[in-house]
Amino acid sequence: MDFLEILKAILYGIVEGITEWLPISSTGHLILLDEIIPLSVSEEFLEMLIVVIQLGAILAVPCLFFDKLNPFSRAKTVEQRRGTLALWGKVIIGALPAGLVGVILEVFFDIPDHFAVVAAALIIFGVGFIIVERLGLGRNADGEFRVNSVYELSCTDALKIGAFQVLSLIPGASRSGTTTLGGMISGVSREVSAEFSFFMAIPIMIGASGLKLLSFIGDGFSLGANEIAILVIGIVVSFAVSLIAIKFLMGFVKRHSFTPFGIYRIILGIIVLSYFAVTLI
């Protein structure tokens, strides 16, 4: 395998590990990265890679939140174990809408990842973050959120957040971005919205990655040694970087609003539009 391709695979893993968890769209960044620093792979493999590389990122969640997500911990009381099992039930409820719609779109439709769609999603949801923060949507008269712990989430809250997650199927929307917005609008604090978004990512991203990989193989494509190396490197690097990115975001939302991410999304959306508009001229 070419050393340059190894460096590219590492770079793709870094970008995925950062952008998967921050509400700024991993798809938008990877598409732009492919235009600037393309991998020497087929278009079909790249499409699969952008989805399957998420497996590395998702492994960081159970590693960082193992105690909170483990319902069989001996350190927990019976009541705490029940609370953890109830949390998993809400995670499944929240994952159902996007999971069902995602399967339907994958089987019967071709979801467009045109640069204009990605750019529009980046800008629109960026504006959404700014509006939600400025107007204090989802907060009471004292500026406080109704839900401040994942254990306080109701099944209705989980379903509402899950409904917003469906919007993440739009390339450039950002799964963490749409779910966090949905949570805040529903009265769930920034920290809890982000945390629950991470938990819902476990079934969603494992399912999406598995479906995409099976579709790739089912269409008659095979993985060569170079492609396997790129995939493995990307997954490993995205896992390592995700550990850092998740810790950063959880620390950030305790002290700051999501407005900076909204501004960043708008700027990136304009850059994407401008870049592709110029290249098409």
The C-alpha atoms of residue 179 and residue 4 are separated, in whole angstroms, by: 36
Per-residue pLDDT for 155 more than 70? yes
Per DSSP, the three-state class of 145 is: strand
Decide if pLDDT at 65 tops 90.
yes
Measured CA distances, 227 to 1, 54, 82, 234, 257 (Å): 9, 16, 43, 10, 40
Q: Which pLDDT score, from 0 to 100, does residue 281 have? A: 66
Per-residue pLDDT band at 96 (split at 50, 70, 90): very high
At 181-214, the pLDDT tens digits run 999 999 999 999 999 999 999 998 888 888 888 8
Between 27 and 40, where is the model more confident? 40
As a dihedral over the C-alpha atoms of residue 99, residue 101, residue 107, residue 111, rounded to 10 degrees, the angle is: -110
Tell me the range of 182-186, 227-231, 272-276 where mean pLDDT is highest.
Answer: 182-186
Residue 31 is predicted with a pLDDT of 81
Beta bridge partners of 145: 139
Amino acid at 57: A
Residue showing tokens 């896992």: 239
> Residue 46: pLDDT above 70?
yes
Residue 57 has pLDDT above 90, yes or no: yes
**Cα-Cα-Cα-Cα dihedral of 23, 28, 30, 31, to 10°?**
180
Instruction: Give the confidence band of 278 by pLDDT, cuts at 50, 70, 90.
Output: confident
Contacts of residue 91, defined as CB under 8 A and 6 or more positions apart, other chains included, come to 158, 196, 199, 200, 202, 203
Position 28 scores a pLDDT of 80
The predicted pLDDT at position 225 comes to: 86
What is the maximal distance between C-alpha atoms in the chain? 65
